[in-house]
Amino acid sequence: MLGLTRNDNRLLLFVVGLTMLAPFLLNPFPEGSAMAQFNAGYPDLMQRFVIFGIFAIGFNILFGLTGYLSFGHAAFLGIGSYAGVWMMKLLTMNVIPAILVSVIVAGLLSLIIGYISLRRSGIYFSILTLAFAQMCYSLAYSVFTPVTGGETGLQLSLNDPRIIGTAVTDSGNIPPPNLFGIAMRDGFEWQVGDWLFTFNAGYYLAAVVMLIAFYISIRIFRSPFGMMLRAVKSNQQRLDYTGLNIKPYTLAAFVISGMYAGLAGGLMVAMDPLAGAERMLWTASGEVVLMTILGGAGTLIGPVLGAGMIKYFENIFSKINETILHQWFAFLPDGLEDAVVFMIYPFIGKGWHLTLGIMFMLVVIFLPGGLVEGGQRVGRLFRKRKPDATSDASQTKPAE
Amino acid sequence: MDAIFLQILNGLDKGSAYALIALGLTLIFGTLGVVNFAHGALFMLGAFCAVTLNRILTISSTSIDPTRTDFLGNPMQVQTPYVEKWFGTEFGASLIEWSVPLAILFSIPIMAFVGLAMERGLIKHFYKRPHADQILVTFGLAIVIQEIVKYFYGANPIPTPAPDVFKGSFDFGVLIGYEANTILYPYWRLIYFSFAAAVICAVFAFLQFTTFGMVVRAGMADRETVGLLGIDIDRRFTIMFAIAAVVAGLAGVMYTPILSPNYHMGMDFLVLSFVVVVVGGMGSLPGAVAAGFLLGILESFASKAEVIAILPGINQVIIYVIAIFILLMRPRGLMGRKGVMET
């Protein structure tokens, strides 16, 4: 199917199932129960899952395949957002032009930055991309304030021309972002017993875009082009000696991943039409690095998992406060309860970044392949139990 | 002309901070070959050493003063720091006032310990891993350190004033023949600059004139051979790491009166310090120091109103623009050694 191998097909179907059924999967607990706060099935968060999933997939095409660690990818996401909002201000509230233009603009910017940065490799490349991203951020805050809105950010207003679409709705409001009339915030809720499932138009648009992005990334991974990128990662010197010019390949990878970031920025705008410079800050670039590494750099599904995990923790863990903790551990004796809460409290709620940092360090130290490798190891552990004898026999033993 | 002097002076204090952090980064990179993204966090830890010492000194006992009343008419509660009780009011008060300079002594053992723990506990295992892994793990460590500090000290900047003696400004213009009040320079910044210069000289002297320093320099040039000579070079490099941590910490301690410490100040400085290291040349100690001062001064020139009028926004990006140019035109930086991380 679609020119994929059987395994890749299964992976793609798995991701299709995951995204399409997300409103059910992420809402496993009934409304009003104590566990309801772990439900992540509300549109805002689901949209963020898939949008950051796209961002991380794109980053993985660069970092996972070529090994070039960019610390400035947020710049492309930021400029994509700005371009998207401008399309909505000037042209129409339909999201299609906004998304397309943000991809193109981000692609152009990444072409420029990539062309310069890729003249160096290793840590210099990281620092160059970091410097460029910080430059974009500073410029967005200062000189380009007329274009970017500076500190307040770029917002829609009633005075925008919107040549193709309607500038103002009949009721005098700014029209919502829509896809040929379907507003992004539209959706319907389905009540089953105690469960409330929300199906949101914006989420499904983003999910479909993510599936396409994921499919393209599978094709890139399996293509000769992807092989070439992997060769860059494993031994660039040898590749140079064969007389190949690797620059076009790495540049193409950089631009593709920049366009993915722009796509994510455009989708972000489509869901919520505003853009701010803080999206370009280098901590935002660091976040996508965290997502990719945590999930597993160089694997197909890893970045998506990493993005989902970090966004889930960010939104769900950070909501847990001390009172909720006390409720959970109320069954313990008083002194012990306080002690347990005291021990756990620094790691969740406002301190979830600490958990993230520790988790990230552990992954880098012990599991360079990220969660995917962790999963594989666990899987191997279970599989090894039964056919122990066969694996022993197949191993070649060193001669004595 | 006086304007030029003023800008140079203004650039010196920030430049000193860049130079100190970049010096530490280069020391670590030159000895251990590790790219330390957590170095900014060490700078921040140093600043919080000063805050902590200030807090320790101001731990107070509460007593009720029957002679005075608060606005409700109740007897007023008076907070007396223990140091004032123990050492007399005057000496105790001056101890508190001088908490920032005192924190230098306080922070050295702490930073040395942090540095040793970091190197032995974490970085040691990353010598052989690729640079990307080193960047990532130290980046994670920086997040962890930041969050721990944030947990204990909150997210807001904590003002930590310098002693009153240094509150005023030094009239630098008079010294070189200008009218009074044309070139004013706050005393503390002058002290910061002299302090930074002293620390830098001390580090260089240590490397240049002691046997230990000689061995370390030999190890930087050829680690393997030094190891073959039967010298435990790893142990010395670990100590160098601790020294680099102390240098970053001292830079942080003394910077507190200039910028109230908050938990992410380290990251802000780190990005710029990396740029400084790259401009100076990876692995070159004099290059790091020179580039630190150079970029600090250039930044201060770029923020002049006249310059901004010609090139709007240049003050925000000057450092990055220079870094990009240097990296592309002269890959090994201003004073980089040939062959050290040139690609």
HEC readout, B51-98: HHHHHHHCCEEEEEEEEEECCCCCEEEEEEEHHHHHHCHHHHHHHHHC
Percent of chain B surpassing pLDDT 70: 94
Q: Which residues of B touch A351 (CB under 8 A)?
A: 147, 150-151
Nearest CA in chain A to B35: A123
Which of the four pLDDT bands, split at 50, 70 and 90, describes residue A61?
very high
Burial class of B296 by CB neighbour count within 10 A (0 to 12, 13 to 18, 19+): buried
**A47 falls within a domain:** yes
The reported pLDDT for the residue numbered A55 is 93
The reported pLDDT for the residue numbered B340 is 58
Which DSSP helix (H) or strand (E) runs through B221? helix B211-221
> Does residue B221 surpass a pLDDT of 60?
yes
- Asked if A361 lies within 8 A of B140 by C-beta distance, the reply is yes
Q: For residue A154, give the 3-state DSSP assignment.
A: strand
Looking at the complex, report in whole angstroms how far the Cα of residue B76 sits from the nearest Cα belonging to chain A: 34
**A315 falls within a domain:** no
Nearest CA in chain B to A369: B133
**A57 falls within a domain:** yes
Query: What is chain B's mean pLDDT, rounded?
Result: 83
Q: Which residues of B touch A286 (CB under 8 A)?
A: 139
In whole angstroms, what is the distance from residue B25 CA to residue A127 CA? 14
In whole angstroms, what is the distance from residue A274 CA to residue A155 CA? 5
- Asked if B341 lies within 8 A of A127 by C-beta distance, the reply is no
Across the interface, which of A135, A141, A144 has its CB nearest the CB of B320?
A: A135
**A391 falls within a domain:** no
Quick one: angle between helices B285-302 and B2-32, nearest 10? 150
Interface membership of A165 toward B (CB under 8 Å): no
Which tokens is B305 given? 């109103």
Give the position of tokens 């400004």.
B169
Please give the span between the terminal C-alpha atoms of chain B, in angstroms, as a whole number.
41
Query: What is chain A's mean pLDDT, rounded?
Result: 83
Nearest CA in chain B to A365: B137
**A299 falls within a domain:** no
Across the interface, which of B131, B319, B343 has its CB nearest the CB of A120?
A: B343
Interface membership of A115 toward B (CB under 8 Å): no
**A355 falls within a domain:** no
CA torsion through residues A240, A243, A245, A249, sign:
negative
In whole angstroms, what is the distance from residue B278 CA to residue A127 CA? 8
The reported pLDDT for the residue numbered A399 is 45
The answer to whether residues A51 and A208 touch, using CB atoms and an 8 Å cutoff, is: no
In whole angstroms, what is the distance from residue A195 CA to residue B337 CA? 66
Give the position of tokens 């980064």.
B25
- Asked if A116 lies within 8 A of B328 by C-beta distance, the reply is yes
Interface test with A, best of B316, B318, B319, B330 (most A CBs within 10 A): B316
The 10s digit of each residue's pLDDT in A299-332 is 888 899 999 888 888 888 777 777 777 777 777 7
The 10s digit of each residue's pLDDT in A78-135 is 999 999 999 888 888 888 888 999 999 999 999 999 998 888 887 888 888 988 888 8
Nearest CA in chain B to A355: B144
CA triple B319-B323-B328, angle to 5 deg? 155
The 10s digit of each residue's pLDDT in A237-296 is 888 899 888 889 999 999 999 999 999 999 999 888 888 888 888 888 888 988 898 888
Nearest CA in chain B to A236: B343
**A248 falls within a domain:** yes
Find how far residue A329's CA is from the centre of its chain.
34
The 10s digit of each residue's pLDDT in B46-57 is 999 999 988 888
In whole angstroms, what is the distance from residue A132 CA to residue B299 CA? 17
* Three-state SS sequence of A204-247: HHHHHHHHHHHHHHHHHHHCHHHHHHHHHHHCHHHHHHCCCCCH
Across the interface, which of B137, B312, B324 has its CB nearest the CB of A128?
A: B324
In whole angstroms, what is the distance from residue A200 CA to residue A26 CA? 14
Which residue range forms the structural domain that includes residue A38? 6-281
Q: How many domains does chain A have?
A: 1
The reported pLDDT for the residue numbered B219 is 87
- Asked if A354 lies within 8 A of B131 by C-beta distance, the reply is no
Q: Which residues of B touch A121 (CB under 8 A)?
A: 343
Which 8-state DSSP code applies to residue A172? S
Interface membership of A145 toward B (CB under 8 Å): no
Is the ipTM above a cut-off of 0.90? no
The torsion angles phi and psi of A178, rounded to 5 degrees, stand at -145, 165
> Does residue A400 surpass a pLDDT of 60?
no
The answer to whether residues A247 and A118 touch, using CB atoms and an 8 Å cutoff, is: yes
* E runs forming strands in chain A: 154-155, 178-179, 182-183, 187-192, 195-200, 274-275
- Asked if B313 lies within 8 A of A346 by C-beta distance, the reply is no
**A331 falls within a domain:** no
Which tokens is A325 given? 């903790």
Q: Can you give the CATH number for the domain in which A158 is found?
A: 1.10.3470
The 10s digit of each residue's pLDDT in B14-44 is 888 889 889 988 888 888 888 888 888 999 9
Which of the four pLDDT bands, split at 50, 70 and 90, describes residue A387?
low
> Does residue A388 surpass a pLDDT of 70?
no
Q: Which residues of A touch B312 (CB under 8 A)?
A: 142-143
Burial class of A102 by CB neighbour count within 10 A (0 to 12, 13 to 18, 19+): buried
- Asked if B274 lies within 8 A of A141 by C-beta distance, the reply is no
